[in-house]
Structure 1
Amino acid sequence: MYLKKILPIAFLMALVAPIQAFTPTAAQISQFQNLPKAQQEQLARQYGVDVDSLLGGGSAVSAPTQQAPVLERTTSNQTSATATSQNKNQTSGLKSFGYEALSGAALGFTVVDNLPVPLDYQMGPGDVVNVQVFGKSNQKMTLKIDRDGTINLPDLGPVSVAGQTFEQLRAQLVGLIKQTIIGVDVAVSMGTMRTMQVYIVGEVSQPGAYNVNGLTTITQAIVASGGVKNSGSLRQIQLKRKGKVVSELDLYDLLIKGDTSKDVRLSSGDTLFIPTKASGVELDGEVVRPAIYELKGRTTLAQLLALAGGPKPQAYLSRISVRRMSSIGSQQFTVDLKQASGRNFILQNGDEIRFGEVSNVLKNAVAIRGEVVSQGAMNFTSGMRISDAIGSIEDDLKQSADLNYALLVREGNKNQDIEVHQFSLLKALSDLNSIDNLLLQEKDQIFVFNNGLDLNYWGAEKSINLARQKGSVLSNQTNISYIDSETGAEIVSQEENAIGTFSNSAVSATAKQQQGSRAKLLEPIIERLADQASYDAPALLVDISGAVKFPGTYPLVKNATAASLVVAAGGLTEDAYLDSAELSYRGIENGRLISEQINFSLKDAISGKSLVSLSPQDHLAIKTRPDWQEGMLVELQGEVVFPGRYTFQRGDTIKDLIGRAGGFTEFAYPKGAVFSRERLKRQEAERLKYLNAQLKQEISNMSLRRQGASSSDPAQALSVLDQLDQAEPVGRLVVNIDKAMKGDELANLMLEKDDKLYIPALNPVISVVGEVQYGSHHTFDPNKTVDDYIASAGGTKRQADTGRIYIVKSNGSVEVPNNSFWFSRKYQSLAPGDAIIVPINTDYLDGLSTLSTATQILYQLGVAWSAVKD
């Protein structure tokens, strides 16, 4: 025979050997795999062997220990890649819904010793129970349920437990042992669960017998077997027990609704039968989950749409394409889901349904965007005006709508170039005869902007519902609502789109877009105007800056003036200078770009006394009043008669501030004043950041040197680095309050915004910090020198730099020693509130030069904060 000519005789003998003691070589298996599939199956049937075993599978062996819910099969173990590949439809590219969730390689033997056992687990032969008796006597027993459903208790005999739940068995054993042995407590736990054999047959990737434990459910067994074939049904999985169907599982309930009520546990000898799929349809296009779906019974188009998660927002529900193959040939149906007849359209096996997308071009419509209750398109009628599109301020506009500035965008020619008109909603809706109540044209778009108020916005759902009630949302933004006859849930789909050139910025009723800022809403208009610009036609855009609420770039509207641009920018702020404004404009003269500026009275332009027209690319600058200042506040705390926050004018000084606060109290110590300035605080923060980065670099270099011969310890440097990370800048400025109060021009500083002055009480304390044995505070003694205070702190440490000891005075200034006279008892340099600083010797840490500067700043910050807190 042809097969015998190809395969070696030794290999054929191995196939028919009663005892599989021979293992084919790789070359022999390769020869077998190269045969056509039909010949492989023919040879296997002829010699009574399993094709899957020859292709790498093999029977598995189970063990009587506690296992995972699914153990392993007792027959062949072939790969399940076929099931996955079958899920793709060869013609449409759609996948069959649900099969991937069940596919995968068959699970191997897995031992799990701590699997929790539910109380309703039904006990049976092979289950093992652990019993612990303690108290008067101690005993541990491992009891196995015999085939007759009993367990043998030592000294008590057999006890029938078959058919009981684990909870019932535990209660029975505890009661029986306590009744028999007085004075003991009993603990019963589950040991090893029994293994049992079930059959998985039908349209599964790997049918056969499987060893499972008592907790295995239908879906777990199917997943372990490699999944269901594409030809198998997911909606009519049958669990048979003793030849009768005891349960039927619809996996769509689990995959779509999360319903596991029908996913029951298996019993010994059960059979899972997967029948062939009765019918299916293809659903493609603008739906949430396009796929091939299996039908179950009489299914309508609305029910199928619910299975697919509903339509996408851009789905065109008025024309659903249904293609049907029947005995008379191909048929085409067009279904309207807005009609009851469309929603109740009955599907048949093999139908191909496609949801198309709505057109980007709206006809016979106008659109409204922005701060309106209902965004979207509405039907256009001849003679329609602004007041017809937006009925009233109270009902159709949000509270955040800008009533003084709105735009009408219109396509002005066949090239679809747009022109922009500005109008006032307040005038248009209050006076129907006003010129602001513009006459609309087809495809016009109305933009209503935010007035900058921080208000709560209505959600999209409220907008849609109100629009539906008012009937203002028509064919081009249609909300379709219908009841799913199977689930009873309401399914809502919304068709929406902007018009013409704004198709990429579709009108939307979502809450996120309703909260868009003025710049966000202007963005598509500005982009379109920029795109349509050319060499001889500059972009119709103008800029405004300065004292207006919303400075930025705006469309150049028809008949634009400086006054209309100010309105577009939200109006003037309170610091605007009305006597003069500057208009810069650009132009081409003799092929060269020129720029000129003119100044005009903003007051006259706004009042209408003068007309300042605008041209493309103009820039309007609104000046700020020279004498205008905001937030001119300083803070005065501590030992003054009336501490608190004070307003001031430019030119006010420290002396003026303290005088307004009633002067000092009797406990004040002006020499220890702490003066903080916001500007210096920012500079100090930058300095700390720079020192932090520089010190990190030096520590990194030191670490590299330590890998060589150096033996320095970087712990001190790392400690300083941590303090720099957490240091809070003070922005302290050294001031002499005594001189300031006497009127000294240099000491009596002018105040700045957010200055803070703290006058402490007299604190007769000298602080010693840095590289001393014990950093501490000492009572001020005018007879003690610096050396005496350091000795009181235990002396200096080994790494101290005794040659650079310095003093931070109570007012923040620093005194540095210059000769041996520093430590003389005759030298009276110390005063209450001073701090003696003993710095670290940078040579101690391989010359970390930054460390000295960093520690000095940290000490000074600490002294300042200590003065404030004390």
Structure 2
Amino acid sequence: MNSSRKLLVASFISLFALLVAAPSFAAGFTPSAAQIEQFKRMSPEQQKALASSMGINLEDYSSLIGGDSASSAQNAEAVSGVRKKTGAKSGEQIIEQTALTGVDAPSLKEDESEESTRQKLELFGYDIFNYGADSFTPASDIPIPADYILGPGDNLVIQLYGKDNQTLNLALDREGRIQFPNIGPVNLAGLTFSQASTRIDTIVSEQMIGVKASTSMGNLRTIRVFVLGEANVPGSYVVGSLSTMTNAIFASGGITKIGSLRNIQLKRRGKVVTTLDLYDLLLQGDTSNDSRLLPGDVIFIPPIGKTVGVAGQVKRPAIYEITKEADVQGALNLAGGLLPTAYMPASRIERITDAGEKTLVNLDLTSRSGREFRIKDADVIQIHTTLDTMRDIVKLEGHVKRPGGFAWRKGIRFTDVVPSVDDMLANPDIDVGLILREEKSTRKISVHLFTPAKAFDNPNSKHNPELQSRDTILLFDYESDRSMLLEDVLAQLRTQSSFTEREKIVIAHGSVRFPGQYPISEGMTTTDLIMLAGGLTESALGNDGEITRYSIDENRQTLVMHINIDLNAQAYPLTPGDTLRVKQIPLWNDKESIVLLGEVLHPGTYPILPGESIVDVLSRAGGLTPHAYPEGAIFSREELRKLEEERLAALKNEIEADLAAEALNDGILNKSKVDSAQAEQIIANMDAIKPMGRMVIDLPQILANPKLYDFKLENGDVLTIPRFKPSVTVVGEVQYPTSHFFDKKLNPFDYIDRSGGTKENADKKRIYIVKANGSVYLPANSGWFKSKDHNIQPGDTIIVPMDTDRVDPLTLWSSVTTIMYQAALGITALTKL
């Protein structure tokens, strides 16, 4: 800890200057592995505080301590993007380019097909293979179908009963025979299970008198089949004898995205015996064509056929393989049909022409011709959504109990939407309201003023405006600023302005309740604008106003006019761009006041006029009491209080950084851990210190010579005159910090001795005094305490600072914050007298 930091610590205690000292560590420091682990265990706040105190940018070490997950994800995405750009496109990627669909804005720029934002579609049906083959393994404990054909490896369980009872477990050999005890070989090759059961029963009945047989299947054989073509893992597979085509496909890992789901072929002895359309299974749950396999069967998956994308407002947006689907309706059926939000008259097809260019074909799905429109390979059908824009409504906003939309009908008026003032919230402004109207011919916004109070009183008169479809009603109150409610309206009016049309905005300044910009309505006058701005304030002159008007002559030059008007005499018409200023009563200012506390004859809050001084206000308060101690007067000012608050926050950050660094060093060096209770107490002391905004004044000198030393007061100033207390306080590195009765014979060292003397860590060369009025005297030479100007007076505080070179940051800040906390308590106690 260097000497500049020592001086700063002393300043913190005495003046609450709260300037942050120099960093504790060099910025070029490289953390070790142990330090990194210790740093990771800290909270984010501690990490930031420690890094700031050490002059370290955390981003420089993000690779060591673990960067932000979002940043890592972005980096990974960027790398992935580079790979996608540099890598060659696979067949799967080429097919998926038909998914560049959605409700996009067609670009008229050449060679910019990727400019529009598009919704990516996935190929339909392929995600079923993500669940793995285990989920689709055929069950082996189900009843055997009667048409199941026996083959080598199948096991039969034959139970004999009657004259002879026994159970036989016989397997078919390579020739398809079973070796039946006492009967001999029985040929069952090529028979169904039902036929084999009948044959065994017949043979047993004929050759074993008095014995009958009951046959069931035991363990089933396995068969070898081939899955070839566009399978994820083509090859030869051993499957159960009850397996079907889908079981074998799943065993091979499924179908690649360039393989067909709708033309899967089952070949037997070189001929196609059946085809499987997986769409029947996925869309209808139909397994009738999922044929059972025989040994040596080949399942061949050809490349995908024609595809059509269906995007937008359908139940299953995706890319579909088409076979017999020839028109738009067939493709929509594959996508599950339209959603209720689909807008059928404005659909379209994005198509690749024979010339290799993209084009659009408009569709009206409400017509038969639109639904039966022929589709081609790589078409993308786009179904738009209905617009969010609502028709035949009126909208209510602002200071009302039930804002929102209301159904519009011909002849509806304002009071049909807001029947009475009871439907408005408390403290409403019923003198003015706005109706925002969209002109049908231009779709521009116009503004219309009305008076809700007159509408409530005369619902059948012109004062109750008739509403049009899509009108918006704005109602106000007398408390909320209207700028936020009108922000969107003003922005739209600015957008509507042009070379030939000025912004339809006027400005109200001066003594109105809500100064600012407002939309101008047709025929608006100064009276209307004042009402729209919330009315006049109590400071308004009432009849004196000024309009500043900017106009443009035929040579496109600006002309400025200032028009003085009598607000009581007439309602002056306004034009777009006018600024109305309502003048204020001369010498009117917001009421300012100061507070006098303590030993004055009449303490309290005193209104002040510009230019009043301390002596003026003390005279109005009757002067000081006989018990007053003006030498210890405490004067605080609001702007200083705010500055002190900022510096206290800076000091708190400094303390937290030092405590975090101390905790880190202790963990790395295996020292005893930092006392967490002591650290918490340090932070608690800092939180308890409230900014005072104290400014040092010499009140006795001001009262004795006001012409030289008196000064003007400001709004919010506080002057506290304490009662005379013949005491001197000693704080800091002494054995027993306390207050002592004042004795003019004693010097500062005498008071320190009466407090038990200094501690081991005391810095005796920098002992200083904080005078009762807040001024501080720092040591200048060895004869400091002998100066008459620096003699100890009642109310003074002697501070014995700590030798910062001999202690760690925890001990230092513990001492500093304790002194500051005790000083703050003392000042607070004085202000409450």
Q: What TM-score, normalized by structure 2, do the two folds share?
A: 0.48
Q: Specify which structure has the bigger relative contact order, considering alpha-carbon pairs within 8 angstroms and separated by 6 or more residues.
A: 2
**Of the two, which has the highest radius of gyration?**
2
